Structure 1
């Protein structure tokens, strides 16, 4: 998610005093943790409603899957715009909640597949994927904070990478070929770059009142990483 420059906003976080920066970071990561907890709650609720599970699974084949991905991209784009509205706190939270719900819905087929493949050991797979995701996310975030480097130069590479990935997903869906393990590995690398980029944005691009938007960007990258790590473990 790109930060939008809005006139008459205070300086970016890197230009503020230490106490203000620490407060901003605490708010951002608290909202990120809240988004993760909300995701777990919503996902659990979805799996208690067979009609929702059946609907999500029915959309995983052929054109339906592409339409679902397209709808997901439209919803998440709208959510990101809401989260960046500096004059409306309610819109910030509405955007974050909307994004979390969209993520929870699109994760249903993958988690369902993990449950079926695990044959009773689904918790172990989900637990392993979560631990690996959190560990990698923490390590990458630490790199940004320790080096204080601005990783905005990754934007072009990430954009190209995501377009290539989207093209491969569309081709694989239309022509019926499996993208395989190496595609998932490549997406883990891409998600890792996105975490570096979003964490760097939190420090160098966002303003003091944009902690919700910053948490949304981090959440999006975190969930992308979790998706492909879970995909790798489910197909192991």
Structure 2
């Protein structure tokens, strides 16, 4: 049985293999998300999708379930069992596809499908750039952890407040969330070697995939707001 060691303590060859497998699984996760989302948008009735963003309390319930399930998926991602890691990743991809349904439905029917492509390209470009900074910079990005945690709680509070009281969070909230998602990617990428073993590349991919999808959500939201 292959011994799993922390990536930071592994050989250069093992590190390279870990990163290659991690980013391959990130790419496969994105492709799986596209496939699942396409099926959902074609099979789920428009009335059901409309209800998701038309009823504020249903949307709040969905976000709550999503948050709890995300915590569970994150715990699975740190498992030593490869099958449990895959279960967490697959479960999270399905959750993301459900959460994204209303936004993509609106994007296609109001702003046009081209805006989705533009948001995807911007997300990939930003992710590649941030990853390059994390790998090439000698800086310690540990200070971002507290900023990300505090920013996350503030954003959840604002989202819940917007749902309860019916106010629009606006463009600047989306810009702030893009910055928060970018900081999360930078922090997570720089800490992959200290958080995961060489055989936990599926779990590492889940963490990066989650941050990419958050970044994509708010970039798409910004582009859609410019079309209105």
Q: Give the TM-score of the pair, scaled to structure 1.
A: 0.90
CA offset digits 1:191-210 (Å, max 9, x no partner):
00010011112123211111
Q: Which among 73, 91, 104 is matched to residue 98 of structure 1?
A: 91
Identify which of 109, 112, 115 aligns with 1:116. 109
Residue by residue over 1:176-225, the C-alpha shift from the partner in whole angstroms, topping out at 9 and shown as x without a partner, is 11000000000000000010011112123211111011000000000000
Runs of 4+ residues deviating >6 angstroms: none
Alignment of 1:38-187 (within 5 A): 38-51=32-45, 53-60=46-53, 61-86=55-80, 88-118=81-111, 121-122=112-113, 124-187=114-177
The CA deviation string for residues 61-86 of structure 1, in whole angstroms up to 9 with x for no partner, is 32111111001111111112122210
Partner of 1:34: 28
Q: CA deviation at 1:131?
A: 0.6
Q: Is the 8 A contact 1:150 1:204 kept in 2?
A: no
Contact 1:63 1:174 in 2 (8 A): yes
Q: 2:17 aligns with which of 8, 19, 23?
A: 23
Q: What is the Cα deviation at residue 10 of structure 1? A: 4.5
Q: Which runs of 5+ in 1 are unaligned?
A: 1-8
Match of 1:216 in 2: 206
Distance in 2 between the 1:157 and 1:81 partners?
22
Query: Considering only aligned residues, what root-mean-square deviation do their CA atoms show, in Å?
Result: 1.4
**Where do 5+ consecutive residues of structure 2 fail to align?**
none
The 5 Å alignment of 1:218-233 reads 218-233=208-223
Instruction: Give 1:57 shift.
Output: 3.1
Query: How far apart, in 2, do the equivalents of 1:213 and 1:151 lie?
Result: 21
Q: How far off its partner does 1:50 sit?
A: 2.8
Please say if residues 56 and 106 of structure 1, whose CA atoms lie closer than 8 Å, have aligned partners that are also in contact: no
Deviation at 1:148, TM superposition (A): 4.0
Aligned to 1:4: none
* Distance in 2 separating the partners of 1:55 and 1:191: 29
Distance 1:54 1:80 in 2: 32
**Whole-angstrom CA distance in 1 between matches of 2:139 and 2:31:** 30
